[in-house]
Structure 1
Amino acid sequence: MPRNTLTAEQIVRAAIELLDSEGLDGLNMRSLGQRLGSAATAIYWHIKTKDDLVRLAGDAIWDEIGLPDPDADWRTAATALATGMHAMLTRHPWFGQAAGGYLLYGRGKSRFDEHTIAAYEKAGFAPADADRAAATVFVFVLGSALGPAMEVSLTRRLTHAALQDAVARTHEIASEFPRLRERLDTPAAVGYADAPEGSFEFGLRAILDGFEARLSSR
């Protein structure tokens, strides 16, 4: 595809697809050019560096999160935004890795932040505490998405046998501790990078319950 028929939006969308399938290590201009049916030089005409490409891709995925109804109560809005962010991060497990190695910013992320802060101000938090509430939930959601991201990354990098060996070894070590041993012997026992079922929903409810209690006590 010649450079004058490519657009930056097409390149970013293809980059996201490549990141989803191959991970951060699999993203390079040559592979991206092959996906687009174009020479790498045509991509450089629009986007100069891999850092720029990751930043643009990392911002575009925030637009996938639907915005809550403006008339919704604060807790409904906060839950929708946090749940949408968690689903987005689960679809794009490379984002967590990119956040540790690239400067990520843009209008998509700012749009999300604007509506999140608005939800907590609507709850009754002063601006500074609304910022803290938004940051608390953001860190929780990001951490909750690390398990699936780890699973994807490990599956790409390691053989099935190596993963099975690691799981067996972790179970062997955990069996030395009574509470862990008891949980390993149940049908709900989790895998190497998994959290117990319902952990995200439980944690989010607990945080928002804490916010409500804090607001009610004032």
Structure 2
Amino acid sequence: MEIITGKPQEDDAAPTCGGRSVWLRPPPATRNGPPLTRERITEAAVALLDEEGIERLTMRHLAERLQVGATTLYWHIDTKDDVIDLAVDAIFTEAAVRGEHAGSWRDDVVALLAGCRATLLKHPWSAALPLRQRPVIGPNFLMWMEYLQATLVRAGLTGRHVQAACWLLYSHVQGSTVSQSNLRWTDAERHAAHEQLRRHSHRYPTLLDHAYVLDDEWDENFRLGLTYVLDGLEAWVRSAS
């Protein structure tokens, strides 16, 4: 029988932004019994999310996967928000960050963002999570963001322009992955929608001409969109200097 310490927890409550981030709190002292560490909790959480999706993530379900009681898990992790923070940061170990900057700042940005996109697509539950109510401040994500901002500084951006360009680029990755991960149209639905556009071609001639609902060139659209953004940043730096 486990003894509950601290306040009771709502196991299936929706994530909230209350309290300090898990990254701002030290790990609890080790207790007697089988070792349960942040690393082990994080590994199990990522596996659960990959296999079953974020809808199935509860503290009770995660505890079952770890073969511990829910109260034991709560001794180490306060909320489901904390679990998600740990899981998001863990997958950023997979996002490519070069040890050194390449000759071209553009090459560095392209490689970094492509690696991030591949990681988010590999873990579809993660694509929309940066839209949550609190920022991601885990060490792996911060290293990724440090590399991006340092690359933008090397490109010639200064002051507020570094942050603005950084979030523009990150939003491009996020928008691409969220759309691709969440779209659930079948081929039959795509073609039915295209036929509807054809029937109303007088209203939507441009959408029909460019096969709006049939397009699924996700990689090419991401690449071209990133090219447009980088071309614009490069032109802005030249004009500002």
Q: Which band: TM-score by shorter chain? A: 0.7 to 0.9
Please point out which of 171, 191, 212 is paired with 1:139.
171
How many pairs align?
A: 203
Q: Is the 8 A contact 2:54 2:125 kept in 1?
A: yes
Three-state SS of the structure 1 residue aligned to 2:196 is helix
1:174 aligns with 2:174: no
TM-score normalized with structure 1 length: 0.80
How much has 1:90 moved relative to structure 2? 0.9
Give secondary structure in 2 for the equivalent of 1:63.
coil
CA distance in 1: counterparts of 2:152 and 2:118, whole angstroms: 21
Q: Distance in 2 between matches of 1:92 and 1:214?
A: 35
Q: Find 2:75's aligned residue among 13, 26, 45.
A: 45
Instruction: Write out per-residue CA displacement over residues 121-152 of structure 1, whole angstroms, 9 at most, x where no aligned residue.
Output: 1111113212221111011111011122213x
Is the 1:59–1:104 Cα contact (8 Å) retained in structure 2?
no
Per-residue deviation at 1:119? 0.2
Q: Give 1:97's aligned amino acid.
A: A
Match of 1:10 in 2: 40
- In structure 1, the residue matched to 2:128 is 97
Is 1:86 the counterpart of 2:108? The answer is no
After TM superposition, the score normalised by the length of structure 2 is 0.73
Structure having the higher helix fraction is 1
For residue 114 of structure 2, what is the amino acid of its counterpart? T
SS state at 1:145 partner: helix
In the TM superposition, what is the alpha-carbon distance from 1:115 to its structure 2 partner? 0.8
Q: List gaps (5 residues or longer) in structure 2.
A: 1-31
C-alpha contact (below 8 Å) 2:152/2:162 kept by paired residues: yes
Q: 1:70 to 1:18 in 2, by over 3 A?
A: same
The one-character-per-residue Cα deviations of 1:188-211 (angstroms, maximum 9, x if unpaired) are 933xxx455510011111111222
Q: Which ranges in structure 1 are unaligned for 5 or more consecutive residues?
A: 156-162
Query: Which structure: larger Rg?
Result: 2
Aligned equivalents of 1:38 and 1:26: distance in 2? Answer: 18
Residues 22/102 of structure 1: CA separation in 2 closer, same or farther (3 Å cut): farther
> CA separation in 1, counterparts of 2:61 and 2:234?
49
Separation of aligned partners in 2, 1:144 and 1:18: 24
Displacement after TM superposition at 1:16 (Å): 1.2
> Do 1:121 and 1:127's aligned partners in 2 also have CA atoms closer than 8 Å?
no
Report the alpha carbon displacement of residue 47 of structure 1 after superposing the two structures with TM: 0.8
Distance 2:113 2:60 in 1: 35
Let me know the Cα RMSD of the aligned residues.
2.7
